[in-house]
Amino acid sequence: MRFITSALLVATPALAIPAAEIFSRQGTCATSSNYAAVNEKQLPDPWKFADGKPVATAADWTCRQAEMSKMLQQYELGDLPGPPDSLTATLSGTTLTLNIKVGSNSKTVAVTFSKGSSQAAIIGVGGISIPVPSSVGKINFGNDACAAQQNSGSHGSGWFFDLHGKSHSAGATTAWAWCVGRIIDGLEQLGVEKTGIDPKKLGVTGCSRNGKGAFMVGALNPRIALTIPQESGSGGAACWRISDSEKSKGKNIQTASQIVGENAWFSPKFNSVTGKTSTIPEDHHFLAALVAPRGLFVIENDIDWLGPVSTTACMKAGRQIYKALGVGPNMGFSLVGGHSHCQFPSGTTENLNSYINTFLLGQGKTNDVETSKTTVNMADWTSNWSAAPTGIKLA
């Protein structure tokens, strides 16, 4: 995974960089192709490289993000490919058609969208369950066609795998992140004058299984300005270690061991380590770290299966990272219970709009949200962390 430098990200939260340029910058960070297993019951330290070196500068942070991404890809996500060999976009009304070529394989994909009164838009991974203001457009991403999520045996089905090969290591959520990158490529290629959508003002959302995907799309696509995963639970906003801990206490909660038998969201690489998550040198607070300092608003529920203790503690850890980077308000966490799965609580609308207004419309500032009635002891999960560096302030 390639990351734009922290200095460029500070310039504007919605900055868009062509995919090829993002990928060309990886050479500035020396990342390993193989990271050793660990023995860490607490969440891995974001402020220390795998070799023990402390993260001390903004340049270090950019490289640590690249390392985090590589770890996630090695252990659970599978490999994220680079840009395609070629992509040509055409437009007919509000249908964007992409002609994509990878090696000798080619695919034609159509994406429909609607425009708002502004040039901002939110990409819906399998649909949109949040209220979207009329000023913001909607882009319909058919993630199941990109990479199937029918069951654990559906790995290798979809147009991502038609392009990259049936045996590619990417899980479905990683494939979705790559496919969304191609939509952004198309929007950039055609330009806002033709599409009415500014690729520098894109958000992404999805709920439940598609919320896991939305989180992955935002974490692996630096061109997404605002990421809004809704009720993503385990595999999204929850941390594997914390979910396992909750399971051991008798909670009815989705864990890594269960999730790989349910569906193809994660790489086959993940299968061998789901029963020993304390050996993985990463966890899902790293997803928040990869989005930083861009906009992130995480919406959760108090349903046991989603793991409210796990999502609360994991995203509090993510908020600690944002705060240490000097951009605390850029990440919000809202766990409001008492409603059905994927039913958006109306009382959260103001907080949601504050993130949409800030990161997509360039208006006002966020409400700096951290809402959860779930009690957690963060010392159980982050007391092993190094002191946050004082030399990194991205705001």
| Tokens of residue 362, six digits | 């360039």
Tokens linked to 27: 């050479």
Do the beta carbons of residue 147 and residue 175 sit within 8 Å? yes
Are the CB atoms for 9 and 25 separated by under 8 Å?
A: no
Query: Which residue type does 196 have?
Result: G
User: Catalytic site residue 341?
Assistant: yes
Element at 206 (helix H, strand E)? strand 202-207
Catalytic annotation, pick one of 24, 114, 278, 341: 341
Give the chain's radius of gyration (CA, Å).
19
At 194 the three-state DSSP class reads helix
In terms of Cα–Cα distance, which of 69, 205, 65 is closest to 140? 205
CA-wise closest residue to 3 among 69, 89, 76: 69
> 6, 129, 208, 354: which one is catalytic?
208
Contact predicate 166/160, CB 8 Å = no
Q: How far apart are CA 179 and CA 121, in angstroms?
A: 17
Placement of tokens 């994909």 in the chain = 109
Is 164 designated active site? no
CA–CA dist 89, 107 (Å, integer): 12
- What is the set of active-site residues? 208, 341
